[in-house]
């Protein structure tokens, strides 16, 4: 009788709510920090957090800030980022961040609350069908209808998000489900329709190596897939053995060292002369983890016209041949394929090709017209690059400053550039830096923003102040929507329409209002001085660099043109 009573008590002790189960599952998945914003339909989840001092949660000031922070955490660490929001507007405020992660293949698990199952479909207060709304921008979505499915769903979500071509997974939990009793059980992941594998076809890679041996002007386009598969070391070894020049896409920056002698910079719309010219003259194009997106290829009819063959290494078979014909597909994990290739690759016949490329690098380097009177944004980026020796984690917002960063910051390591590539999301950079710093507490994290994008996320300064997150927040302030202004100048005959950001806040005073140190520079000497002060400050610092409004990003390929039709700008 006593034994039966004891067993009953032990059973009762193991019964927990769906909310408590959720938190235990997150901890068991190795989640270090969750970014979120509470509300009515996630109250049980947040109530469960109250008794878990070991569960780290950062309260952002907007749901979009939460998901961008989770995104920055994921990209910089290689782990799954997690965010939580309530139903209705809380969930819909995540949509831009979900799309951002989906376009750039970032592994996230997004947890949203929903109204109780008893009132679903009745237009209840703060009801929104977030699963349907995000179906096209998630890798997979779950609506939890039975608390007994919750543990399995959480485990599946992490597995799906972080395998194959990575991406965001949504878990929508009705309020009543989060409070129902459940027993934790041993579960196994068995997804009949989803079986990602690291295996690849060795013959496909062998054919690529044969094509390299026969080529005289090969070019590698290294993309984000190199970074996401942690294949930077394998790529470096492959390139050095094969002696093939490497152009690195925006999301691929850091996947190959910027200062390496075989690096030819970024290609595409704002790519440099050497990279774009090499692609147009190449007889073999090898895409490694790059999806041949339109900002790289520009006008497809005319992209790499002399290429006899196109090769494409990618984990996602849907990308093969989607934009560019592909004679040499290599489908599988890039790290594994390069590791195999490195056992068999031989030096290509590229001596004359590399000499021609080096001549272009010397004759047409990235440059700008410097000034002693006004502060140039390119100078600011060069200063940051030189003083950090390429060792920092850099996050950017979207616009001219993003392109100047891509051009003038010299990246040394993989996962050191965090930026919105596919969606081009303004307001991304600063929250992403908070996530990156959270995941990399011992690294220097620098957030580079425009004055437009900074105002879409400035409220997150509170997080840095309260949590003492030591991000260095750079604002390149040209008092205008710079990239739009540039396009209106060059494409629309100086018809400057609704781009003036006059009336923006005093960023130094704004930082002070949140308890963050703020500094401003308007010339080179001041820029160097405030940057020195920032590096010597343990906590967060906002640095406003007031730069020339008229400065443009060059080179530039206008929409509808091929890569060889570059506008080079007025270089000295």
CA distances from 31 to 35, 215, 334 (A): 11, 46, 26
**pLDDT tens, position by position, 117-169:** 999 999 999 999 999 999 999 999 999 999 999 999 999 999 999 999 999 99
Residue 195's pLDDT is 83
Least confident of 103-117, 190-204, 343-357, 442-456: 190-204
Q: Averaged over 480-498, what is the pLDDT?
A: 96
Mean pLDDT of 379-389: 98
pLDDT tens digits, 505-527:
999 999 999 999 999 999 999 99
Judged by average pLDDT, the poorest of 38-47, 83-92, 194-203 is 194-203
pLDDT for 188 equals 81
C-alpha dist (Å) from residue 212 to 152, 207, 316, 347: 46, 9, 23, 9
Q: Is 126 left (phi over 0), alpha (psi -120 to 50) or beta?
A: left
Domain boundaries of the chain, sorted by first residue: 16-182, 202-364, 377-557
Both tokens of 69, joined, read: 């922070």
* Percent of the chain's residues with pLDDT above 90: 93
pLDDT number for residue 572 = 47
Band of the pLDDT at 8, cuts 50, 70, 90?
Answer: very low
pLDDT score of 11 more than 50: no
The pLDDT, as a whole number, for residue 207 is: 98
* 22-26, 50-54, 310-314, 374-378: least confident range: 50-54
> Residues 435, 69: contact at Cβ < 8 Å?
yes
- Indicate if 313 belongs to the active site: no
Measured distance CA(420)–CA(433) in Å, rounded: 12
Whether residue 6 is predicted with pLDDT greater than 60 in this model: the reply is no
- Of residues 186 and 256, more confidently modeled: 256
Whole-number pLDDT of residue 51 = 84
CB atoms within 10 A of CB 292: 24
* Tens-place pLDDT, residues 450-471: 999 999 999 999 999 999 999 9
* CATH number of the structural domain 377-557: 3.40.50.970
If one counts every other C-beta atom within 10 angstroms of the C-beta of residue 294, the result is 14
The answer to whether the beta carbons of residues 390 and 284 sit under 8 Å apart is no
Residues comprising the chain, all counted: 572
- pLDDT tens digits for range 61-98: 999 999 999 999 999 999 999 999 999 999 999 999 99
DSSP sequence for 468-508: T---EEEEEE-SB-HHHHHHHHHTTTT---S-B-TT---HH
Catalytic residue of the set 20, 49, 63, 382: 63
Residue of 298, 483, 556, 566 marked catalytic: 483
Q: CATH number of the domain at 16-182, please? A: 3.40.50.970
Q: Which residue, 243, 266, 193, is CA-closest to 417? A: 266
Find tokens 């376009």 and name the residue: 103
- Phi/psi for 131 (5° steps) reads -65, -45
Q: Mean pLDDT throughout 12-32?
A: 91
Q: Among residues 24, 126, 155, 204, which one is catalytic?
A: 126
Which among 370, 374, 388 has a CA at the least distance from the CA of 532? 388
Q: Does 133 participate in catalysis according to the annotation? A: no
Indicate the class that CATH gives domain 202-364. Answer: alpha beta
With 90 as the cut, is the pLDDT of residue 197 above it? no
Q: How many Cα atoms occupy the beta-carbon half-sphere of 74 within 13 Å?
A: 33
Beta pairing, strands 328-331 & 284-288: unpaired
Q: What distance in Å separates the CA atoms of residue 160 and residue 167, rounded to the nearest whole number?
A: 8
Mean pLDDT score across all residues of the chain: 95
Same fold, 202-364 and 377-557: yes
Q: Give tens-digit pLDDT for 202-248.
A: 999 999 999 999 999 999 999 999 999 999 999 999 999 999 999 99
Output the pLDDT for position 13.
57
Q: What is the pLDDT of residue 571?
A: 63
Catalytic residue status for 126: yes
Lowest model confidence (mean pLDDT) among 34-48, 193-207, 389-403? 193-207
Instruction: Give pLDDT, residue 199.
Output: 87
Candidate list 9, 125, 261, 351, residue with the active-site label: 125
* Per-residue model confidence (pLDDT) at position 344: 96
R_g (Cα) of the chain, nearest Å: 25
Task: Name the band, by pLDDT with cuts 50, 70 and 90, for residue 198.
Answer: confident
Percent of the chain residues topping a pLDDT of 70: 97
Residue 4 has pLDDT above 60, yes or no: no
pLDDT (0 to 100) of residue 184? 84
64, 156, 166, 175: the active-site residue:
175
Buried-state track 20-44, b at ≥16 Cβ within 10 A, e below 16: bbbbbbbeebebebbbbbbbebbbb
| pLDDT above 70: residue 1 | no
């Amino acid at each position: 009788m006593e034994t039966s009573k004891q067993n009953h008590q032990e059973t009762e002790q193991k019964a927990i709510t769906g909310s408590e189960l959720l938190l235990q599952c997150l901890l068991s998945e190795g989640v270090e920090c969750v970014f979120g914003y509470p509300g009515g339909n996630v109250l049980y989840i947040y109530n469960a957090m109250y008794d878990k001092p070991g569960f780290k949660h950062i309260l952002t000031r907007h749901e979009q800030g939460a998901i961008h922070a989770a995104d920055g955490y994921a990209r910089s660490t290689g782990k799954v980022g997690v965010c939580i929001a309530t139903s209705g507007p809380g969930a819909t405020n995540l949509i831009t961040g979900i799309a951002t992660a989906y376009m750039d293949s970032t592994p996230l698990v997004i947890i949203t609350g929903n109204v109780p199952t008893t009132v679903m479909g009745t237009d209840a207060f703060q009801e929104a069908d977030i699963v349907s709304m995000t179906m096209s921008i998630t890798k997979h979505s779950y609506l939890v209808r039975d608390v007994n499915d919750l543990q399995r769903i959480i485990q599946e979500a992490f597995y799906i998000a972080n395998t194959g071509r990575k991406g965001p997974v949504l878990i929508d939990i009705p309020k009543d489900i989060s409070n129902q009793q459940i027993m934790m059980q041993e579960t196994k992941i068995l997804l009949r329709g989803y079986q990602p594998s690291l295996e690849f076809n060795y013959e496909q890679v062998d054919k690529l190596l044969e094509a390299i041996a026969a080529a005289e002007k090969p070019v590698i386009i290294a993309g984000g897939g190199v970074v996401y598969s942690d294949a930077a070391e394998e790529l470096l070894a492959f390139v050095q053995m094969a002696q093939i020049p490497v152009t690195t896409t925006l999301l691929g920056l850091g996947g190959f060292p910027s200062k390496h002698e075989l690096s030819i910079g970024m290609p595409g719309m704002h790519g440099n002369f050497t990279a774009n010219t090499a692609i147009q003259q190449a007889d073999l194009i090898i895409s490694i983890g790059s999806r041949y997106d339109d900002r790289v290829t520009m006008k497809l009819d005319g992209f790499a016209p002399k290429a006899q063959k196109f090769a494409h290494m990618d984990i996602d078979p849907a990308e093969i041949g989607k934009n560019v014909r592909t004679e040499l597909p290599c489908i599988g994990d890039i790290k594994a394929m390069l590791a195999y290739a490195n056992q068999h690759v031989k030096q290509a016949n590229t001596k004359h090709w590399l000499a021609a490329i080096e001549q272009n690098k010397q004759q047409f380097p990235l440059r700008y017209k410097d000034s002693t009177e006004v502060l140039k944004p390119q100078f600011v980026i060069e200063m940051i690059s030189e003083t950090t020796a390429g060792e920092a984690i850099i996050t950017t917002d979207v616009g001219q400053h993003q392109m100047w960063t891509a051009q003038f910051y010299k990246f040394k390591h993989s996962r050191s550039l965090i930026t919105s590539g596919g969606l081009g999301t303004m307001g991304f950079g600063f929250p992403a830096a908070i996530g990156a710093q959270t995941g990399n507490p011992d690294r220097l994290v620098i957030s580079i923003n425009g004055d437009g994008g900074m105002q879409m996320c400035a409220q997150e300064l509170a997080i840095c102040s309260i949590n003492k997150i030591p991000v260095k927040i750079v604002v390149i302030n040209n008092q205008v929507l710079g990239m739009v202004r540039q396009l209106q100048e060059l494409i629309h005959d100086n018809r400057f329409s609704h781009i003036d950001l006059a009336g923006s806040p005093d960023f130094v005073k704004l930082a002070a209002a949140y308890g963050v140190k703020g500094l401003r520079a308007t010339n080179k000497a001041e820029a160097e001085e405030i940057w020195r002060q920032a590096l010597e400050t343990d906590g967060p610092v906002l640095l406003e660099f007031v730069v020339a409004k008229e400065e443009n990003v060059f080179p530039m390929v206008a929409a509808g043109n091929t890569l060889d039709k570059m506008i080079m700008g007025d270089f000295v």
